[in-house]
Structure 1
């Protein structure tokens, strides 16, 4: 009898071990510790939600691997194998393999509804007369403000908008909610921001705000095009072709569900160019 019990126990342990081995590994997703509205450590960003959805579709548990500095996380986390997936990268980012785009959006003008500003493009008269225009440096907004001769007018005001400066390498951060709030409170007449970065705060504002997608036909003073519409993909480490194909299948098959998550955030969504859809 004891021998039978021992055999049964051994079989049970063997089955349990086999089940444990069959469970797929967690999907390690590189995510920002505090880069809202995209992601934070508490999982409150829209990219946190998208990562959870992708992990569920793959039948894997989500493991968030957080980073603090956006400049180095691909080198220090992805390339070293500390995470498998990066949400929200530019389609075609040369540092990674990128999936088919799961959304396309653009930069927007943000104004108060009550001000009735007729903002259609960078030639709009309101941009010439506005006393304060909120924007983040290093973006297409800065390039076009220089092109229309308004950058120097905003230089001192821009320094007031800095929300964070690190002690290491002087990494400067501009908080998206603060920039939107500048318009909501009337401190600035206009803000120019990446639509997905602003949408949550525009939607939540007690002061009704308007987002106008900026056309993608802008040029610098020297005639070079300045892009204002971009496609966003999921990134994986180079060489991880099998994972890339799995993710592409999710993007293709679950586009409606992904779109619902993005629309709930209030993100302005644009049609994808045929060239991007045919890649990968």
Structure 2
């Protein structure tokens, strides 16, 4: 998930003392013995049990800052993920984890932090198949009708991608895949790593971090990523935050302070994983 220059020894000492106090928690909070993360065990590029995801890397970054070990409580990110991780607590026991490293900004099942990155859905397709000039959704729509009619575009059901196909009369070009699967071995990148790479579809429209990571991971064929552009009433780009339990404002502020303090390192991790980053639109004066 990155560094800041402190001016003067006095400020450095003050920051060190503040960091130690935060790691131990405020007086009314129990001291934290670990940076406890709720994660999906098989959800690259975000997380997995061997710590290969970018959310794992950001968690490690934060834990080092706090002088704490990282621990994980894993549960497949399907229905009731928050209930079975962040909110899971047996009588007379503590919660199993304290932070979800990636939730949509404003997600109401958690107390969401300020966003730490913004990405967009993206089109992924092989090079050398007559689409190399495509750099955006507009370029895709500008393809000759005879070319568009031949495309098989993989999308996850109930996603902005499936709605976009419907809006542009391309439903018959879509190849739907279920977003929820009872199979714990299933992961979202399979649409690229298997379906697209093996030629079952000609292109896929998926969430940007998945698109960027798996397009780099697939060696043959060589894949290209084109970000999709939001349209009125159909957003493709979304801000992502972290989530803690309601009623823990000091912990939430501590996470937000870590995000702010390590912004450069977080962005470097995201770029390393090929995440297409989108700048927040600046409001027009008078709007």
Q: Could you tell me the TM-score, scaled by structure 1's length? A: 0.77
Shift of 1:240: 1.0
Residue 134 in structure 1 maps to residue 159 in structure 2: no
How far apart in 2 are the matches of 1:36 and 1:179? 12
Shift of 1:59: 2.2
Instruction: Name the CA distance, whole Å, in 1 between partners of 2:282 and 2:109.
Output: 23
Give the number of equivalent residue pairs: 241
**Post-superposition shift, 1:132?**
0.9
**In the alignment, which of 196, 199, 204 is matched to residue 186 of structure 1?**
199
| 1:89 paired residue number | 103
In structure 1, what is the equivalent of residue 227 of structure 2? 213
2:142 is the alignment partner of 1:124: yes
Q: Does 1:79 align with 2:87?
A: yes
8 Å Cα contact 1:136-1:193 kept in structure 2 = yes
Note if contact 1:90-1:233 (Cα within 8 Å) is conserved in structure 2: yes
Q: Give the match's secondary structure for 1:263.
A: helix
What is the CA-CA distance between 1:191 and the residue it aligns to?
A: 0.9
Instruction: After superposition, give the CA deviation of every residue in 1:118-143 in whole Å (9 maximum; x if it has no partner).
Output: 43325333683243111111210011
Q: Which has the larger radius of gyration?
A: 1
The secondary structure found in structure 1 opposite 2:280 is coil
DSSP 3-state at the match of 2:254:
helix
Structure with bigger helix share is: 1
Q: Which runs of 5+ in 1 are unaligned?
A: 1-21, 220-224, 276-280
Aligned to 1:6: none
- 1:27 and 2:35 matched: yes
Partner SS state of residue 125, structure 1 = coil
TM-score (norm 2): 0.75
1:271–1:178 distance in 2 versus 1, CA, 3 Å = same
Shift of 1:28: 1.3
Matches within 5 A, 1:126-275: 128-154=148-174, 157-158=175-176, 165-166=181-182, 175-206=188-219, 207-216=221-230, 218-219=231-232, 225-273=233-281
Is 1:199–1:266's contact at 8 Å kept on the other side of the alignment? yes
For 2:50 and 2:255, how far apart are their aligned partners in 1?
24
Name the CA distance, whole Å, in 1 between partners of 2:281 and 2:85.
Answer: 31
Structure 2 stretches lacking a partner, 5+ long:
1-29, 89-94
* CA distance in structure 2 between the partners assigned to 1:163 and 1:139 by the alignment: 8
CA distance in 1, matches of 2:173, 2:229: 24
Between stretches 184-193 and 227-236, larger displacement belongs to 184-193
Distance verdict in 2 for CA 1:143–1:104, change over 3 Å: same
Query: Is the contact made by 1:165 and 1:172 (CA closer than 8 Å) also made in structure 2?
Result: no
Q: 1:173 to 1:241 in 2, by over 3 A?
A: same
Aligned CA distance change for structure 1 residues 212 and 61 (closer, same or farther; 3 Å): same
Deviation at 1:256, TM superposition (A): 0.7
Q: What is the CA distance between 1:273 and its match in structure 2?
A: 4.1
Q: Partner of 2:4 in structure 1?
A: none
SS at match of 1:78: coil
- TM-superposed deviation, 1:62: 1.0
Asked whether 1:98 is paired with 2:112, we answer yes
- Distance in 2, matches of 1:144 and 1:99, equals 29
